[in-house]
Structure formats: C-alpha cells, structure tokens
Amino acid sequence: MIALSIPPLFLLGYISFNITKQTLVRNHIQTNVDRLKTTSDVTDLLFKNLINVNRLILANDELRQELHESSNSDRPGNSVIDIVTANRLQNVVVTNLIDTVNIDSICLFDNKFHSVCYGRMGSAGVYGSEETRNLIELTDWYRQSKEAKGKEVFFSYNVLEETSQGNSFSSVKLLKDPDRISSEPLGLLVVNIKKSLFETVIHESDDNQFMVLDSLGAGRNIVYDTRSLEEGKVVGENHQAMFSNLKDSGYIVSRYRNLTTGWTLIHLAKASTLLKDSTWIGTATALIASFMALLALLLSFLMSGTITRPLLQLKKMMVDWANGVRSLEGTFDSDEIGVIGETFKRVAWENKQLNERLTQSKLKTREAELRALQAQIKPHFLYNTLDSIYWMAELNHNKEIAQMSISLSESFKLSLNKGKEMIPVFKELKHIEHYMNIQNIRYNNRFQYIEDVEPSLMSIEILKLLLQPLIENAIYHGLEPKLGEGTVRLIGRIEGGFVIFSIEDDGVGMDDLTVTEEGYGLKNVRERLDLYYGTDSIFSILSNVGVGTTIEIRFRHNHGSEG
C-alpha cells in the first residue's frame, strides 16, 4: 500500500511544486517587466526634460555667440569662461527648467574646454584647472560623445569626477551651431544628474531591490543599485557574470531596456520570499505523505491482523491436531478463513469418530481372529475323525465310504485355505471335484461334470468359494429335480482382459429368476463379486424351463492377482 500510494504522492507534490514555482516566477517576471517598462517611461520623461537643456542652450543666440567668442579668444592662465556667460547659463536653466531637483550640475565647455558651470560653484571638477582642461580630449567619454555627433550620451558615472562611487551620473552632448552644421562644434555640454532621480520612480522594499546597468559591459557599469554591500554589491562585472551571480545569490531577475539611455533596468526579488507559498506546497505534500504513510501502516497492521490472527489460530489448531490433540477449541468469524477453520474442526471431529470406529473394528477383527483360531481346533478334530472313518472303511473294504471321507476331508481343507481369502483356480477346481465325488456317491453317479478351463487360468488367484457354490446351485436346483442323468459344465477363459467363468446345466431350468435372490449361495457370490472386483464385474443368469440354466461371471483377472 505504501509503495503504491506514497511515491506517486511525492511525485505529484514535486510536480505541483515545480509547476507552481515556474508559474510564480514567470508571472512575477512578467509583472515586474511591465512595472520596469512603466518605470522606464517615467524615467524617459525626466530625461527628456533634462535633454531639453541642450536645445535651450543651442536655441539661445547669446550663449552660442559667447561660445564662439570664447573659442576664438585667447585666455592665457584662465580655464573659465567669463562671468557673463555663467550668469546667462544660470538664467536659461532657472527660467526654462521646471524640475531642477534631480540636476546636480550643468557645465558648458567651449572648443578649448574653457568651462562655466551651474550648481558646482563654477568648478568643472577634475577638469576645472588650466593644467587639466586639455585632458578632456583624451578621455573615453569625450571620444564617445564626439562619435555620437551631437546625440546625447549617458554615462553611468560623473564624467567630471571620474568615479563611479559618486551620487550622480552624466549626460554629455557635443554642441553644434544649428546655423552652421558643417562648422566645428561650439563646445560640450555636461549635465550631471543625481542618482536619487531613480528613487522617485521606483518603490523598492526589503524583499525587492532595483538596479540600473549601463550598456558598456565590463567596467563602471552599475548606474544605480539599492542593494547594500552585505547583499553582495559588485562593481566591475560584466552583465552576464552579474546576472549569474545574482541568480546564485537567490534573486529572481526581471529586466527591461530603456530606449533613451540604452541602459538596463533590473528588478530583483528574493526567491525565498516569492516562493514561500510554493515551498509550503512541498512541505504540505511531505506532511500529507508522511501522515498517509503512518495511516497506511496502521491500517495495514489492523487489516492484516484480521487475516493473520485467524490464520495463526488455524495454524495452531492444525499443529495441535498433528501433535495428537483431538479436542479442538476456539471459534472463528463467518468469513473465508472461518469457513476453513470450522470445516477443519468438523473434519477433525469426523476423523476422531472414524478412528474410534476403526479401533472398535480392529478390536472386533482381533476378537474374530481369536475365535477363528479357536474354531480351527474343530476342523482338526474333524480331519482326524474323517481320517479314522477312511481307514475303517478301507479295512472293511468299503470303497465308497472311504472315497466320501477323503473327499469331504479335502473339501474342508480347501474351504479353510489356511484362513486366506484368495485361492488359485486349480485348487478351486479341486474343491469342485471333491464336491462332485461326494454328490455322485450320494446319487449313484447321476451327474456328469465337464471341466473346460484354459490352462493359463490355472495359476490365477480368485476368491475362494466363488465357483463351488455355483456348481452346488446347479446340482440342487437344476439337476436333482430332473429325472435321470444330468450334466454340469464349467467353462473358463480370458477375453479382453476379463476372466470369464460359465456354469451350464441341462436341468429343469427356472421361469422366475427372482428366486435366485432368495438363495444364500448365489446372493453371497454376487455380493462378494461386487465388493472385491468392483462395479465392472458382471454376474448374469440365463435360464429356460426344461432346457437348463447358464450362470456367467466375469471380472478383471489382474485384480485378483493384485489382491
């Protein structure tokens, strides 16, 4: 029961857990991608507001003119554009920008990298001195801005500070005079934007974090990251390695690419928090499976007990019976085993009764044997008496009395046959000869006896007194009532595995064969034939009044030899 029920339940729980997990993760990622898209759209609005500074500066004729003049004039020992340009820049920003909260600073450079800044106390950072301003031309961010040919380029760090650990990032644009597109650029505009801008468009929590990665791959690629250093904040990884590390750290990563900057907005969620419900499915499945396993064990114990207890009771009963205990106690329920138990008790009781009967039968048989031994004393006395009569008849030259005495003596010996039930055919025939001698002496040789028995039958053993009573019946009921002489014929043969004996007489015959049932001799022969040789033995009588009677018996010859 456990093998069939518990593994499928665990398998079902495992499949359910994985399906639920995958569904939750897929839905979570899709939901957060949609949120990131919304965040990206809001961020684009803020970026576009800042990008408008570029257009405002290029649209201001005075600023363009001052940039031309600053580029064409020689300012030895001075890296800053004059104060008039600074004031004009500040006036453009304050007048036209609605939201300046997210702007850290705005720096305007001419062709010779003289600068004027808004929000930085007139400083252009590491490039604000006469010695360092010409280094701008050697920087990677300037090269990328120049390759952009007037399009805004966003960097994940503040280009004027050359560090990614600051609180701002930069948008750099190469300024070209719209009236003279083919001429040299007017200068360079650097807008430094506070990273806190992202805080206004995202809503992170303890279980959800937010990151912004630039599109540069390796290097200073993290623009914004709400994770703490304890949570594994890493700087300098390429994107693929970073995503792999984030997943290994137990985060579910959702991504969306911002079209304005080309940056990737990333939402991070702890998988353990998101999947706690699906984890509960696995836990619940394990608990249910464990409960079912215990329940299955209990039920199997109880159910098997209802089967094994009666079986053990039945086994004990059989062992006791085999050890000689005949008085079997105990009751069974009315089920299949109960039926077997009660049947065994009944069979044991019947066996006990049969044993008692057999014991009584053996005692009676023993008693009969003792009586038979006692009875054998009388035949010996009879033999001795007949032997005396025989010798007295011989001395008196009375041949008939002597012959009758010896025939009677031999007939008694053959009838007893030393207590054996089986007798060879030739001895049974001798018995018949002695009997016929006695009858012919009595009836003055009225009866003729003809014997026609196959030699192969002579050694076969048959029941004693099987043929002699039939000859006796032919004499007394067939030939004796007949006037004159009579003949009785005994025929013996083997056909198809059967021994067949026929006794024929030419006596008076019978018109009613039922009288044969009344005679003791024929009835005794019929019953003994059936009992010993079985139902396939045959005893038949055919009689015609005034013609004679024929009695035939047949039985399988090997039965007699086996007996």
pLDDT of residue 385: 65
pLDDT over 70 at 461, yes or no: yes
Rounded to whole angstroms, what are the CA distances from 563 to 320, 391, 537?
37, 39, 15
When comparing pLDDT for 172 and 119, which is higher?
172
Position 230 pLDDT exceeds 70: no
pLDDT at position 426 is 93
> According to the model, what pLDDT value does residue 377 have?
45
- Who wins on pLDDT, 36 or 13? 36
DSSP 219-248: SS-EEEE---GGGT--SS--HHHHHHHHHH
Higher local confidence (pLDDT), 471 or 420: 471
- Indicate if the pLDDT at residue 518 is higher than 80: no
Tokens, residue 122: 């007139």
When comparing pLDDT for 120 and 479, which is higher? 479
- Cβ pair 115, 128 in contact under 8 A: yes
Is the pLDDT at 188 greater than 80, yes or no?
A: yes
Instruction: Please state the length of the chain.
Output: 563
At residue 107, φ and ψ (nearest 5 deg) are: -120, 135
* Range in 381-385, 432-436, 438-442 the model is least confident about: 381-385
249 touches 228 (CB < 8 A): no
Determine the average pLDDT of the residues in 294-319: 79
Distances (CA, A) of 219 to 143, 164, 195, 249, 280: 17, 10, 18, 21, 41
Q: pLDDT averaged over the chain?
A: 77
- pLDDT at residue 489 in the model: 95
> Span 220-224, mean pLDDT?
72
State the Cα–Cα distance between residues 120 and 17, nearest whole angstrom: 56
Give the pLDDT score at 164. Answer: 59
In whole angstroms, give the CA distance from residue 371 to residue 505: 38
pLDDT at 442: 82
Q: Identify the pLDDT of residue 96.
A: 61
| Strands in 331-421 per DSSP E | none
pLDDT at 450 over 90: yes
Note the pLDDT of residue 259: 82
Kindly provide the residue ranges of all beta strands, DSSP E only, lying in 301-425, ordered along the sequence: 422-424
Q: Are strands 187-194 and 103-110 parallel, antiparallel or unpaired?
A: antiparallel
| Model pLDDT, residue 162 | 64
Least confident stretch, 218-227, 280-289, 331-340, 542-551: 218-227
Q: Identify the band that residue 458 occupies on the pLDDT scale cut at 50, 70 and 90.
A: very high
Q: pLDDT for 47-100, tens place per residue?
A: 777 777 667 777 777 777 777 776 666 555 444 566 666 677 667 666 665 566
Who has greater pLDDT, 460 or 419?
460
CA separation for the pair 547, 538 (Å, rounded): 23
Residue in this structure with the two tokens 């049974």, named with its chain if needed: 428
Q: At what angle do helices 83-96 and 2-59 cross, to 10 degrees?
A: 130
Burial code of 5-26, b = ≥16 C-beta within 10 A, e = fewer? ebeebeeebeeebeebbeebbe
562 pLDDT above the threshold of 50:
no
Nearest to 500 by CA among 538, 459, 550, 542: 538
- The DSSP code sequence of 484-514 is S-EEEEEEEEEETTEEEEEEEE-S---S-GG
Q: Would strands 208-213 and 264-270 be described as parallel, antiparallel, or unpaired?
A: antiparallel
Q: What is the pLDDT of residue 200?
A: 76
Residue 368 has pLDDT above 90, yes or no: no
The conformation of residue 80, written as its DSSP 8-state character, comes to B
Max mean pLDDT range (59-63, 146-150, 311-315, 331-335) = 146-150
Among 29-43, 111-125, 128-142, 155-169, which stretch is predicted with the lowest mean pLDDT?
Answer: 111-125
Give the whole-number percent of the chain exceeding pLDDT 90: 10
State how beta strands 538-544 and 486-495 pair: unpaired
**Highest averaged pLDDT of the listed ranges 10-24, 238-252, 474-488:** 474-488
Confidence of residue 380 (pLDDT cuts 50, 70, 90): low
Predicted confidence at residue 452, as pLDDT, reads 94
User: Reduced to 3 states, what is the DSSP secondary structure of residue 186?
Assistant: coil
Reported as a pLDDT band with limits 50, 70 and 90, residue 456 is very high
Closest Cα to residue 71, out of 20, 23, 108?
A: 108
What is the secondary structure of 434-470 as a DSSP string? Answer: HHHHHHHHHTTS-EEEEEEE-GGGTT-EEETTSSHHH
Report if pTM > 0.85: no
What pLDDT, on the 0 to 100 scale, is given for residue 218?
A: 42
Q: Would you state the pLDDT for residue 118? A: 78
- The CA radius of gyration of the chain, in Å to the nearest whole number, is 67
Greater confidence, 145 or 414? 145
* pLDDT score of 365: 64
Sheet order of strands, 447-453 included: 447-453, 486-495, 498-505, 548-556, 538-544
pLDDT at 350: 80
Note the pLDDT tens digit of each residue in 245-278: 777 777 888 888 888 888 888 888 877 777 766 6
* Distance set, CA 182 to CA 66, 178, 450, 488 (Å): 19, 9, 162, 162
Burial of 322 (0-12, 13-18, 19+ CB in 10 A): exposed
- DSSP 8-state code for residue 270: E
**Contact call for residues 313 and 335 (beta carbons, < 8 A):** no
Q: ∠ at Cα 232 (227, 238), nearest 5°?
A: 95
